[in-house]
C-alpha cells in the first residue's frame, strides 16, 4: 500500500482516474459524486438536525439531512448526462433518466449512512454502487465501480473501478488528493466490529464472536457502517459483521446500497464478504430493498464465520 500524504506531489481524483485510463463517462460520474459530497459536508456541518417528518421505505424516520443529501446527489446525477437509472436508500422508487441506454451507468446509493449519529457528532458517510447499463438488479460482482465518502474529523473518499482501492483526503481547497494507493487488508484480524444485539445472535455467530474474543481480537464498533469499514481498510485488517438475528433472519443492512459496494471495495483490497453461507457479490437481488446478513473483512476471519455458521446448521 503506497502512502502519498507526505509527498509534495498532490494527485487529485480526476488525474488519478485519468492515469488509470478510466472511461471518460465513468470518470465524470465519480467526479460528480465527489463534487456532490462537498455540499453534503456543508449540510452536515451547519444544517438542521431535526426530522423531515417522513419515513423511508424501511419505515425509518428521515432526518432533514437524509432528505437534503438525497436531493443533492439526485440533482447532480440527473444532470450529469451519463446516468441511466438511479435508486437511493432514502426513496422508494427508481429514478429513470435514460433507462434503456446501455452506454450509461446506473447508480444505487445511500446518501447519508448512519445519519442518526450526526446529533452525537460521530462519523457518517455516503455509499455508492455503479453498474454499466440500465439494470440495477444484478449481482454485485457486476459492479463497474464502488465508492464511499467518509465525513469524520477529516473527509476522505475511497473508490475502486476494479483496479485496486484508493483513498483520497479532502484538502483545504476542497479537492480530493491521493493518500493511499492500492490499499491491502491482508493483515491479521486484530479488531472486530459486531453489529446487532448479542442476545439475538444464533449459536454459530455467538461462537464466532467468542472465538475472536478468546483470540484477543479487540472490539472497535462505532455504529456507522462507513467508518467501521474504513477502519478495517486503513488498519489493513479486521472483521465487521451485522449477522442474521433470531428476530431478523436477514440482518439489517441493505444489499444494493450498503453491502454490494462495500463488498466490492473490500474484495478489491484482498478481503472477503459473505452472508455466512455465500459470497455477498454473488447474491442475485430480486428487489431493490433486499437485506442480507454480512461478515466482511480479513479472509481468514470471514472463513471462520462461515465455518461456525455451517456447523450451527449441521
Go through 227-251 and write b for each residue having 16 or more CB atoms within 10 A of its CB, e for each that does not: bbbbbbbbebbbbbbbbbbeeeeeb
Q: Cα–Cα distances in Å, from 64 out to 67, 68, 81?
A: 5, 6, 28
Phi, psi of 276 (to 5 degrees): 110, -20
> What track of x and - describes contact with ligand F6P for positions 209 through 228 (by CB under 6 A)?
--------------xxx---
Number of residues counted as binding ligand F6P (CB under 6 A): 9
CB of 260 to Mn ion, least distance (A): 13
Q: Kindly write out the interface string for residues 182-211 of this chain, putting x where it contacts Mn ion by CB under 5 A and - elsewhere.
A: ------------------------------
CA 172 from chain center: how many Å?
25
Q: Please say which residue, 70 or 110, places its beta carbon nearer to Mn ion.
A: 110
The Cα-based distances of 17 to 1, 103, 121, 262 in angstroms read 18, 19, 32, 20
Closest approach, Cβ 278 to Mn ion, in A, equals 22
Task: Tell me the closest approach of the beta carbon of residue 195 to ligand F6P, in angstroms.
Answer: 5
Which residue, 44 or 82, is less far from ligand F6P as judged by CB? 44
Residues 119-138 that bind Mn ion (CB under 5 A): none
Tell me the C-alpha distance between 184 and 97, whole Å.
Answer: 36
Instruction: Give the nearest residue (CB) to Mn ion.
Output: 113
- The single residue among 114, 134, 169, 238 that binds ligand F6P, judged by CB under 6 A, is 114
Cα gap 232→266, rounded to integer Å: 9
Report the sign of the C-alpha dihedral through residues 135, 81, 168, 13, in that order.
Answer: positive
Q: Which of 33, 253 has the CB closer to ligand F6P?
A: 253
Q: Give me the least distance between CB of 225 and Mn ion, in Å please.
A: 6
Select the residue interacting with Mn ion from 22, 32, 90, 113 (CB under 5 A).
113
Distance CA 257, CA 292 (A): 11
Name which of residues 52 to 111 contact Mn ion (CB under 5 A).
110
293 binds, options Mn ion, ligand F6P, none, Cβ within 5 to 8 A by partner type: none
Q: Which residue is it, cell 436531493?
A: 71
Q: Is 228 in the site for Mn ion (CB under 5 A)?
A: no
Q: How far is the CB of 89 from Mn ion (least distance, A)?
A: 5
Q: Which of 27, 252, 273, 298 binds ligand F6P (CB under 6 A)?
A: 252
Residue 152 as a binder of ligand F6P (CB under 6 A): the answer is no
Closest contact distance (angstroms) between CB of 244 and Mn ion is: 18
Q: Are 123 and 226 in contact (CB under 8 A)?
A: yes
Burial class (CB in 10 A: 0-12, 13-18, 19+), 49: exposed
The count of residues in the chain is: 314
Determine phi and psi for 30, rounding to 5 degrees: -65, -40
Residue numbers of the site for Mn ion (CB under 5 A)?
110, 113
Residue numbers of the site for ligand F6P (CB under 6 A)?
113-114, 195-196, 223-225, 252-253
Amino acid at each position: 500500500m503506497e502512502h502519498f500524504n507526505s509527498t509534495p506531489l498532490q494527485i487529485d481524483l480526476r488525474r488519478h482516474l485519468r492515469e488509470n485510463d478510466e472511461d471518460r463517462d465513468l470518470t465524470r460520474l465519480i467526479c460528480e459524486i465527489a463534487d456532490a459530497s462537498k455540499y453534503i459536508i456543508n449540510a452536515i456541518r451547519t444544517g438542521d438536525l431535526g426530522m423531515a417528518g417522513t419515513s423511508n421505505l424501511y419505515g425509518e424516520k428521515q432526518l432533514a439531512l437524509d432528505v437534503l443529501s438525497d436531493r443533492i446527489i439526485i440533482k447532480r446525477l440527473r444532470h450529469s448526462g451519463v446516468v441511466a437509472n438511479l435508486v437511493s436508500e432514502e426513496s422508494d422508487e427508481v429514478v429513470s433518466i435514460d433507462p434503456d441506454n446501455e452506454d450509461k451507468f446506473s447508480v444505487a446509493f445511500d446518501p447519508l449512512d448512519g445519519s442518526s449519529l450526526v446529533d452525537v457528532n460521530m462519523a457518517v458517510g455516503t455509499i455508492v454502487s455503479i453498474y454499466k447499463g440500465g439494470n440495477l438488479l444484478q449481482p454485485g460482482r457486476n459492479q463497474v465501480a464502488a465508492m464511499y465518502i467518509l465525513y469524520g474529523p477529516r473527509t476522505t473518499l475511497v473508490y475502486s473501478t476494479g483496479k485496486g482501492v484508493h483513498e483520497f483526503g479532502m484538502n483545504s481547497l476542497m479537492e480530493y488528493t491521493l493518500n493511499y494507493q492500492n490499499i491491502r487488508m491482508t493483515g491479521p484480524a486484530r479488531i472486530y466490529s459486531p453489529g446487532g444485539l448479542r442476545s439475538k445472535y444464533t449459536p454459530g455467530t455467538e461462537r464466532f464472536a467468542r472465538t475472536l474474543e478468546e483470540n484477543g481480537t479487540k472490539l472497535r464498533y462505532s455504529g456507522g457502517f462507513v467508518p467501521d469499514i474504513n477502519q478495517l481498510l486503513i488498519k489493513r485488517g479486521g472483521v465487521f459483521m451485522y449477522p442474521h438475528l433470531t428476530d431478523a433472519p436477514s440482518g439489517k443492512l441493505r444489499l444494493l446500497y450498503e453491502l454490494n459496494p462495500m463488498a466490492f471495495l473490500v474484495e478489491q483490497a484482498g478481503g472477503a464478504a459473505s452472508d455466512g453461507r455465500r459470497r455477498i457479490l454473488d447474491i442475485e437481488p430480486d428487489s431493490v430493498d433486499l437485506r442480507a446478513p454480512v461478515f466482511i473483512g480479513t479472509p481468514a476471519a470471514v472463513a471462520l464465520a462461515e465455518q461456525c455458521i455451517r456447523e450451527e446448521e449441521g
